[in-house]
Amino acid sequence: MNKLHINPGYCKGCLICVENCAPKAIKAADKINSRGYNLPIEDDMKRCSGCKLCEIVCPDFAITIEIDETNNKKK
């Protein structure tokens, strides 16, 4: 399963990543953080296809997707 890393210090909660995620592996958090932003959180990372589009479209360099190599080899 691919891993989602979000840097809460860099993210400003614009949610462009959530909009661009076609398999809907991430979603917006219900809670607002201490800086007043709705950060994206994992919804179901099993659905993540590893396209890294969320990483590309992030304006604040806050997202990193760690691709699970072992899972890919099995396929």
Partner 1 sequence: MLKYLKERGPSGARLPLILCPGCGAGQVLNYTLHAVDKIIHEDGIRKEDLAFISGVGCSARLTSHYLNFDSAWTLHGRALAIATGALLANPELKVIVFTGDGDVAAIGGNHFIHACRRNINVTILCVNNGLYGMTGGQVAPTTPAGIETTTTPYGNVEAEFDLCKLAQTAGATYIARWTTAHPRQTIKSITKAIRKKGAAFVEILSQCPVHNKTSPVEMLHNLKKNTVSIKKTKQSEKGKIRIGEFCDITRPEWTAKYQHIIDQYSR
**Which residue ranges make up the site for partner 1 (CB under 8 A)?**
9-16, 19-20, 37, 53, 56-62
49 contacts 39 by C-beta, under 8 angstroms: no
The nearer residue to partner 1, 1 or 37, going by C-beta atoms, is 37
Token pair listed for 21: 């995620």
Query: Closest distance between partner 1 and the C-beta of residue 33, in Å?
Result: 13
The nearer residue to partner 1, 59 or 71, going by C-beta atoms, is 59
The Cα angle at residue 21 between residues 69 and 15, in degrees rounded to 5: 120
3 contacts 22 by C-beta, under 8 angstroms: no
The nearer residue to partner 1, 56 or 71, going by C-beta atoms, is 56
